[in-house]
Structure 1
């Protein structure tokens, strides 16, 4: 029987790259995201290329009832999840705290913290019942350092860092691995989402240096997931060569 990976936020960026990487390694997949058309297209592509089984479930991780209904509605064989990649997350805006958009705050808190918790609570219980599993939480350099105008986004990713450590302790006796992967600058839809679709502003974030791409992080996640049973990578920070910290980037032009 093939192993199973559940990947949230699989419709683009790091999540989509993870889907390709785990499919290449022979995993069957549960892919979730808000855009059903993209999920269906990706599932067909992976099935055709890798001859794996793919289940798709479209829901918003912010909506607790949707998460419960969608995951509990999966057939029993799909609950044999070996790896959960908690990838769904986003940033909204880049403003000082006194000017912040409260709706943006709610979106980030509900997605990056509460959404991760909703999914993890359900899947961790499956893993406990199955007697195995690995939860991989996608954090950020923003979960290690705070930068100007990143206030609430940084706070949510610091929360992911803390939750990762807490999960590692709480699930230790069940033999479940827990890892956080914290990327630096990765050129995906991230900045475009942060700037509400402003492509020009988003493009400027990555000018003058070579950022990471989604596949760089997917390969790191695969490395973490493919370690022997007795090895757990607790925490890993992955940066472009041109970036040493959240705000320290060497731009050649």
Structure 2
């Protein structure tokens, strides 16, 4: 029970890799907050982990791209639990667009809001509380291989994730030594977005990844547990590639 007595907040925690991390944290004894845009999905996961693992689970509907909504989430969580030991900035968005010239201002702002602005706001608010409360904590940013190997069809997303990697190192300096901030640079995972992949994309993945496949959502758990537990007590400001050896 590596996380017994801990409180873990996971954004985008109602499905995909986020849900797998919520389940893993709960299995290790943590009380969990599942935060996502669709509250009904959060409620379903909360009921699931409470029944299966016997932990407290709080579902919260919120929009990570809204500055004030991030503040509301933090207030809600602290009024319920009075602390956060683990924050995982997992919520992400990478909508398709027909061409670079057809990227709208609305799409660009939405991608930056979900992938960069929201994580900044949550990390700033919760990280400061972790420091001031004296208990410290662990913050994990879920980044992407696009940050360092950007593809033309995902440039706003790639830029946002590169910024998130910068936040990982910068916040680790701001909140150390009691708060550790690390990141995972994910490759292709078989989450909901994979249903839109073309045959061309799947072929490229097999040809360019050393493991010749995409990851299953639960394959993020080992790395996430390492960074969010005391196993990584000497790691901060680090970003781990978790992409099957994609080149």
TM range (shorter): 0.7 to 0.9
* Match of residue 22, structure 1, among 22, 25, 31: 25
The number of residues matched between the two structures is 234
Please state how far the C-alpha of 1:95 moved relative to its aligned partner.
4.6
Name the CA distance, whole Å, in 2 between partners of 1:206 and 1:47: 37
**TM-score, scaled to structure 1:** 0.85
TM-score scaled by length of structure 2: 0.87
* 2:197 counterpart residue number: 202
3-state DSSP class of the match of 1:88? Answer: coil
Aligned residue number for residue 150 of structure 1: 154
Distance (whole Å) between structure 2 residues aligned to residue 37 and residue 27 of structure 1 = 22
Structure with the higher helix share, 1 or 2: 2
> Which position in structure 1 is the counterpart of 2:180?
177
Q: How does 1:235-250 map to 2 (within 5 A)?
A: 235-240=239-244, 243-245=245-247
Aligned to 1:188: 191
CA deviation after TM superposition for structure 1 residue 101, in Å = 3.1
Kindly provide the CA deviation profile for residues 51-100 of structure 1, in whole angstroms up to 9, marking residues without a partner as x: 00111211001111222123213354523211100101110114543232
Partners of 1:144 and 1:95 in 2: CA distance: 22
Q: Which secondary structure state, in structure 2, belongs to the residue aligned with residue 231 of structure 1?
A: coil
Partner of 1:102: 105
Contact (CA 8 Å) 2:128, 2:175: kept in 1 or not? no
| Contact 2:226–2:232, Cα closer than 8 Å, also in 1 | no
Distance 1:190 1:218, change over 3 A: farther
Q: Take 2:52 and 2:90, find their aligned partners in 1: how far apart are those partners? A: 23
Equivalent-residue separation in structure 1 for 2:214 and 2:231 (angstroms): 30
Over 3 Å counting, the alpha-carbon distance change for 1:229 and 1:77 in structure 2 is farther
- Of residues 112, 115, 138, the one that matches 1:112 is 115
Contact 2:78–2:84 under 8 Å retained in 1: no
Q: Residue 6 of structure 1: CA displacement?
A: 0.6
SS of residue in 2 equivalent to 1:139: strand
Deviation at 1:154, TM superposition (A): 0.8
Separation of aligned partners in 2, 1:161 and 1:143: 8
Maintained 8 Å contact 2:139/2:228: no
